[in-house]
Every structure is written in structure tokens, then in C-alpha cells.
Chains A and B, each alone.
Chain A
């Protein structure tokens, strides 16, 4: 079956531009996560949704970052007024049940964002 998909796969933005990154999770998956991977680092947690509810946004680095999942399926991560330090790979992951320590997360291929 179809896995997690993300679009666009690559995005080049000029500093100050707004960008929107899309995640299509596996159909029926309850939990959805966003992670940010900077060059040379491991993925770092940004935010978590349970269905349409954003239960944790503690990892969002600034108020320029905003995520939504209005119907409990597709999610969008929006970055306003992009800065060079926002350059990273943004990964989306979903899991079929309520999130828990032992639940496998299924990842998309990521969106590579480069801010010039």
C-alpha cells in the first residue's frame, strides 16, 4: 500500500519567503509527527497531532513555524519569513494508533528546504 508521501521533495526559498510543506500520512493513521533534520544532526521533533488535534508543539523553534491537520489526515507545516537557519530536511511520520513509546513511526521521504 501507499506509504507516507511528502511534497514538494525539494524547495528553494529566498530569505523572507513563506513556505508550505505537505504531508500525506498512511490512510487511517491516527498519529502524525513532524521532525526537522539539520545537516549533520539527527531528526529533531517539532510537533505531534492526534487526529486533528495538535497535542504537542513544544519542538517548534519559533512562532514562524505553524502546523495544521484540519481533517485529521493531510498535514501542512508552514514556515513564515524563512531564515537561512531553517534550511533542513523536514520529515513527516505517521503511526496507526495513539502515539506511544513502542509504536513504530512510518516516515515519508522528507522535504529538503534550502533558504538562500
Chain B
């Protein structure tokens, strides 16, 4: 059974703090890792698709790194703002799907709350 684990489950920070959280996934037969941000009452929004070991991607104050050999990805937020409050999900396409239809296995997410 393929599992994607995210930690911590929730995080409370003050505005201006930098923060990071972790996504762990099976390291064998790696294809890609997806990060999404899901604000309450909105649609999950794609942040990054990471494919190569050592990848580092950046979008504004948010960046992510990838280690496929040990099976983890970190998401960093620099100088958190209240509008960063959301659940951050990582997702992994099942490696044993053969010609994969591209469905994703999601972690439970990290819920970030940023206090002004």
C-alpha cells in the first residue's frame, strides 16, 4: 500500500515567521510529487510538480525541495502572511499503476494558520 505522510498535521505561526513542513513518500519507482494549497471554501490550487532529485522550485515566498532517494520533500514559506493560511497537500502518483492514469495519492495535509 502506497502512503504519503505529511508532518506536522497543523502549524500555528505568527505573521513574519518562516516555516517549513515535510512530505514523505515511497522512494522506489519515483515519478513525480505534487504540492497543492487549499484555502477554506476555495479550490485546491497547484503549487509545484517536482520530478527530479535535488529539484528546488519557487513561487513567490514559497519554495520546495525534493529528495527522491530518501523519499521526502520540504515546503518552505518565508515570512508567512495571514493569506498563507491554508492546508498544504502533497500528492504522489501510484508507482505501480503501469501506464498510470495519473490519479494522485494524497497525504492528509498540513494545516497552516498564520496569526497577524
Q: Which residues of A contact B (CB under 8 A)?
A: 3-4, 31, 33, 35, 40-45, 48, 50, 55-56, 59, 91, 95, 98-110
Contacts and interface: CB of A to CB of B under 8 A. Distances in A.
Contacts of A44: 106
Contact of B106 (A40, A42, A55, A95): A42
Range of interface residues on chain B? 20 to 34
B96 interface: no
Contacts of A35: 106
B51 interface: yes
B42 interface: yes
B103 A99 contact: yes
Most B-side CB within 10 Å, residue of A3, A44, A45, A55: A45
A61 to B, nearest CB: 15
Nearest to B31: A101
Most B-side CB within 10 Å, residue of A40, A59, A103: A103
A100 B43 contact: no
Contacts of A103: 49, 102
B34 A3 contact: no
A48 B101 contact: yes
B51 A4 contact: no
Contact of A3 (B43, B49, B105): B43
Given A55-B101, A107-B43, A101 B106 contact: no
A43 B89 contact: yes
A30 to B, nearest CB: 11
Contacts of B100: 99-101
B103 A56 contact: yes
Contacts of A108: 43
B26 interface: no
A101 B102 contact: yes
A43 B106 contact: yes
B101 A91 contact: no
Contacts of B93: 101
A29 B103 CA distance: 15
A35 B89 CA distance: 14
Contact of B103 (A4, A33, A42, A102): A33
